[in-house]
């Protein structure tokens, strides 16, 4: 099975390298030939060649670029398609690609570390064999969750954008440690390892974050003082607002894509 990756930007390149490590046969295409060639993987001379060689086509171009490709893509509607395009819903992809087997992926940028969290939704006509192969592809670069597409905007607010919130939290923790005398690079390393150990505890114990946090907060201790400071500064409310804002923006992008489809 050959997967042709169309678009070799940060996400496309990360996924291509992950699939290569998992033993997939690949073919790459990018309008910038040097970008595709720089990955050291098989490269198609043009989009038509990439599509002809593919069993599954993974669309990883920018959302504003995809309209210029639809005519060529729809000429290969016997292919199976996976889209990682933000803000482009399945309804638009089904209409534009005129293909049966379509999956919409929403990964985050941790694909390059094989730790992406990816939401998956399928076109109604997608067959079981394609669904399984698409799921296996998603799991090759992290964890995968099959979701109703209506929940994709919320997923983006939680995970797609949420990874940036985590980066910001690590930075804030590190800056707090710098104020207390720990050099910033070492503080970032410690904060990152602390969050990794936190995630491991949630998965290994099966306990919720509130229960685990309560276990750490001994009466009159250091942790409860820090937790109370977070609460007083509105930490939880700020995070909830961040998820809501990113979700709302995702809804707007999908609405715009649907309006453009209806005007065609």
Q: Look at residue 13 in the predicted model and tell me its pLDDT.
A: 95
pLDDT at position 112 is 83
- Architecture of the domain whose range is 161-233: Orthogonal Bundle (1.10)
Instruction: Give me the residue spans of the domains in the chain.
Output: 2-148, 161-233
* Structure confidence by residue, pLDDT tens digits, 61-85: 998 899 999 999 999 999 999 999 9
With pLDDT > 70 as the criterion, what percentage of the chain qualifies?
A: 100
Determine if residue 217 is labeled as part of a ligand binding site. Answer: no
161-233 matches 2-148 in CATH topology:
no
Check whether 10 is labelled as a binding-site residue.
yes
Distance of CA 80 to the CA centre of its chain: 20
Cα separation values, 242 from 66, 147, 154, 245, Å: 28, 21, 11, 5
In CATH, what class is 2-148? alpha beta
Find out whether 61 is annotated in a ligand binding site: yes
- Dihedral angle sign, alpha carbons of residues 239, 240, 244, 247: positive
18 annotated as belonging to a binding site for a ligand: no
241 labeled binding residue: no
Q: Is 62 annotated as a binding residue?
A: yes
List of residues 6+ apart from 95 with CB closer than 8 A? 261
């Amino acid at each position: 099975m050959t997967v042709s990756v169309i678009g070799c930007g940060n996400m496309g390149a990360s996924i291509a390298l992950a699939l290569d490590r998992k033993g997939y046969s690949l073919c790459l295409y990018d309008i910038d030939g040097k970008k595709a060639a720089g990955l050291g993987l098989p490269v198609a001379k043009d989009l038509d060649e990439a599509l002809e060689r593919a069993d599954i086509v993974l669309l990883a171009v920018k959302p504003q670029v995809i309209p210029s490709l639809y005519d060529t893509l729809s000429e290969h509607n016997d292919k199976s398609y996976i889209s990682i395009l933000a803000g482009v819903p399945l309804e638009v992809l089904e209409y534009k690609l005129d293909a049966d087997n379509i999956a919409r992926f929403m990964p985050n940028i941790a694909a390059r570390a094989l730790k992406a969290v990816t939401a998956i939704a399928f076109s109604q006509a997608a067959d079981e064999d394609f669904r399984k192969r698409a799921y296996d592809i998603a799991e090759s670069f992290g964890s995968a969750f099959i979701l109703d597409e209506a929940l994709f905007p919320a997923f983006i607010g939680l995970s797609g954008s949420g990874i940036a919130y985590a980066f910001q939290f690590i930075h804030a923790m590190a800056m707090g440690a710098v104020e207390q005398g720990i050099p910033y690079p070492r503080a970032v390393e410690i904060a990152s390892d602390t969050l990794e150990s936190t995630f491991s505890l949630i998965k290994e114990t099966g306990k919720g974050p509130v229960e685990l946090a309560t276990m750490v907060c001994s009466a009159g201790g250091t942790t409860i003082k820090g937790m109370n400071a977070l609460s007083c500064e509105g930490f939880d409310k700020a995070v909830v607002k961040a998820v809501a804002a990113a979700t709302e923006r995702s809804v707007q992008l999908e609405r715009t894509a649907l309006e453009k489809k209806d005007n065609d």
